[in-house]
Amino acid sequence: MTDTNEVLFTADNKHRQVDSISRQHPCWLNKDSAPVFSWLHLPESQSISETGIVICNPLGYEYSHTHRTIRHLSNNLATAGFANIRFDYHGTGDSFSDLFEEKRIETFLENIESAINTLKEKTGVTKICLIGLRLGATLAASFCEKTSVDKLVLWAPCIKGRAYVREMIALEKLASHSANSDDNKGIIDSGGFIVTEETADELKKINLLKQQYLVNDNILIIERNDLKKNEKLLNAIESSNINNIEHHPMTGYLEMMEEPQFTVIPDSTINKIISWLNENTEQKKIISKYNTHSCSQITSKPDSRLIEEICYEAENKFMGIISYPSNFREKPPTKPLIILTNSGSVHHVGPNRLYVQLARSLALEGYPALRFDLSNLGDSVLGKPANENAPYSEHAMKDIALMIEYAKKQYGFSQFIISGLCSGAHNAFHSSLDLPSSYNIKETIIINPLRFYSDNFANKKRTPNYQIERDAQQYSESLFSLEKWKKLFSGKVDLIYLLDFIFKKIKKMTISNLRALAEQLNLYNGSRLTKDLKKYVDKNTKISFFIASKDPGKQLLMSESKIIVNSMLKSKQLKLYEVPDADHTFSSLNCRKEFVRLFVAHIKSGY
């Protein structure tokens, strides 16, 4: 795989020398009790500031949307000489457990304390600054009510927990998924962020205007620029006899919170945080006592049935986490490794933490699973590449090949299943077509595909097929809605768009039917997708589709390749599963559960 490594990783060698990327270290905190996943970021030099930084993530959809911003913040802090740690709270991200556990807010505050202790222990820093974003800022401020820190940065904090709970309820009502089942009554399911009644009660008790702040030196408040200026928090903190407070309005808040593939890094705000730290921190330096071998790469579920191991190579700059059953190391693996590739630009936890839930469910049934970031996505970013955060990467096949070679060498795997959602579906589909048979890909599992060919981006004037099919679904549902008909007759519907859609849909259906007829009469060799599916037949590689009922994946597949799909279904070389009431990213808790159940059952039945 030397050639593959060179193709992947030599284009940005300049950044390798200046961007401190070799000083990022993933590790587990509390690895023997309640494992919490973290990243330790260190300056390239052994000489570091005596002040260490603990970064407190936001939660819910804001966690995945700001992951890239938080990583940029960590890297820039390290480049500026500040050792820092970022982490996933217990029950979130890559950390163990879930949000149904008791005492979530209390546990999150304990996680902050663990991160502080780890940073001090691993590096030798003597002072601590907490930086929190959104609910992470709220938690950081709450931590300072009982435990003193030296500095505090509150970035767009949620001032009142009660207001935050109302916001989560509103977001749940706006979501496309249906109401929770009787089993889930009393919980808020907001973009994959579960808030139980107990957690909601804990949150409602938080009010940053009515607490004390045990902060020794300085506080920086970064205010959202999309909301009306509010100095209540500033006044409340001043009443705690802390006078060294700076108030900074940020720009680019909404752009930072865009969907992961569209996020814009708020460089001006990151630079402000670093300049504020430099201006308000003594320039005293210490020698870092960090030892590369002091971070734990392996941890296990508290009941020891499941083990997770960090797969990280600073040289080749890829990162993933493999989940496997506790008896996995006792003998060479006989089952295939399931590899999960990025969904869009969401990092390896998957949308709504779906990949974490899926990988662990598979491992508990005896099937190892690896979720990893393609190069230039998530935590597998080399330097500052121009194509960072691009979900349809030209390097995707090389990255998958690299992970297969890594899994062969490190764990002894000999057979593989490649799977992914959205752009991950595209990359999984092409891995079996493009990679040599020596990689022994036994099956490709496609989840909610939106396009099978990334070069469809080239023609910007052409409406994508998935958009036509998605519109068709929405208009079909509208046929049975009285309110939609009222909107139509009242002139509140964009008739030009509607008529344009009808024309495109009829045109697409006509072409599809004519192609199918010509194919049956041997006058047409089939679409590009049909030809590629025939390659699956020739290779004797299985392919399966898991498609949400509210997503256009099935229509896309059948409209382009109905004949070959039906033939493959009959021969059982292709399987097609529909997840009822589900949207593209399985936003609903019940839909995520059902998808995971179907996926695991499929693997168990075939291997």
The CATH number of the domain holding residue 49 is: 3.40.50.1820
Name residues whose C-beta falls within 8 Å of residue 334's C-beta, 6 or more positions apart in sequence.
none
Pairing of strands 193-195, 188-190: antiparallel
Examine residue 42 and state whether it is found in any structural domain, yes or no: yes
Last residue of a domain, one of 294, 323, 349: 294
Lowest model confidence (mean pLDDT) among 130-134, 465-469, 535-539 = 465-469
> Left, alpha or beta for 522 (phi > 0: left; psi -120 to 50: alpha)?
left
Lowest model confidence (mean pLDDT) among 204-218, 528-542, 551-565 = 551-565
Same domain, 282 and 308: no
In order of 4, 216, 375, the CA distances from 360 in angstroms are: 30, 42, 23
In order of 31, 97, 308, 311, 321, the CA distances from 300 in angstroms are: 7, 11, 6, 15, 12
Average pLDDT over residues 382-403: 87
Same domain, 279 and 334: no
Amino acid at 591: C
In order of 42, 387, 484, the CA distances from 150 in angstroms are: 20, 38, 57
pLDDT greater than 70 at residue 489: no
Same domain, 317 and 289: no
Examine residue 519 and state whether it is found in any structural domain, yes or no: no
User: CA angle 575-576-579, nearest 5°?
Assistant: 140
Of 416, 419, 357, which is closest to residue 586 (Cα–Cα)? 357
Lowest model confidence (mean pLDDT) among 102-106, 270-274, 427-431, 554-558 = 554-558
Same domain, 264 and 378: no
H helices of 22-103, where? 61-65, 67-79
Average pLDDT over residues 215-233: 90
Examine residue 384 and state whether it is found in any structural domain, yes or no: yes
For residue 301, name the pLDDT band (cuts at 50, 70, 90).
Answer: confident
pLDDT at residue 343, as a whole number: 97
Same domain, 289 and 408: no
Three-state SS annotation for 83-151: CEEEECCCCCCCCCCCCCCCCHHHHHHHHHHHHHHHHHHHHCCCEEEEEEECHHHHHHHHHCCCCCEEE
Number of domain units in the chain:
2
pLDDT greater than 90 at residue 241: no
Place of tokens 């989560």: 168
Same domain, 271 and 141: yes
Same domain, 386 and 282: no
For residue 470, name the pLDDT band (cuts at 50, 70, 90).
Answer: low
Name residues whose C-beta falls within 8 Å of residue 577's C-beta, 6 or more positions apart in sequence.
544, 545, 546, 547, 598, 602
pLDDT at residue 193, as a whole number: 86
Same domain, 304 and 231: no
Average pLDDT over residues 7-30: 51
For residue 362, name the pLDDT band (cuts at 50, 70, 90).
Answer: very high
Same domain, 271 and 310: no
pLDDT at residue 491, as a whole number: 63
Last residue of a domain, one of 248, 275, 294: 294
Examine residue 83 and state whether it is found in any structural domain, yes or no: yes
Residue 194 near residue 589 (C-beta atoms within 8 A): yes
Mean pLDDT rounded to a whole number for the chain: 87
Residue 374 near residue 399 (C-beta atoms within 8 A): yes
Examine residue 526 and state whether it is found in any structural domain, yes or no: no
pLDDT at residue 16, as a whole number: 30
pLDDT at residue 459, as a whole number: 45
C-alpha atoms less than 13 angstroms from C-alpha of 45 in its C-beta half-sphere: 11
Examine residue 78 and state whether it is found in any structural domain, yes or no: yes
pLDDT at residue 501, as a whole number: 57
CA distance 305 to 16: 39
Average pLDDT over residues 318-345: 94
Same domain, 312 and 280: no
Residue 456 burial by CB count (10 A; 0-12/13-18/19+): exposed, middle or buried? middle
Same domain, 192 and 307: no
Of 583, 600, 596, which is closest to residue 98 (Cα–Cα)? 596
> Left, alpha or beta for 422 (phi > 0: left; psi -120 to 50: alpha)?
left
Tens digits of residue pLDDT in 426-460: 999 999 999 999 999 999 999 999 999 987 544 44
Range of the domain at 260: 32-294
Among residues of the chain, what percentage have pLDDT more than 90?
68
Lowest model confidence (mean pLDDT) among 8-12, 520-524, 602-606 = 8-12
Examine residue 259 and state whether it is found in any structural domain, yes or no: yes
Lowest model confidence (mean pLDDT) among 132-136, 169-173, 201-205 = 169-173
Name residues whose C-beta falls within 8 Å of residue 510's C-beta, 6 or more positions apart in sequence.
none
Among residues of the chain, what percentage have pLDDT more than 70?
83
pLDDT greater than 60 at residue 259: yes
pLDDT greater than 90 at residue 271: yes
Last residue of a domain, one of 263, 294, 325: 294
Lowest model confidence (mean pLDDT) among 355-364, 496-505, 517-526 = 496-505
Pairing of strands 47-49, 285-287: antiparallel
Same domain, 198 and 61: yes
Examine residue 468 and state whether it is found in any structural domain, yes or no: no
pTM (two decimals)? 0.88
CA distance 93 to 62: 12
Which helix (H) or strand (E) segment holds residue 324: the answer is strand 318-325
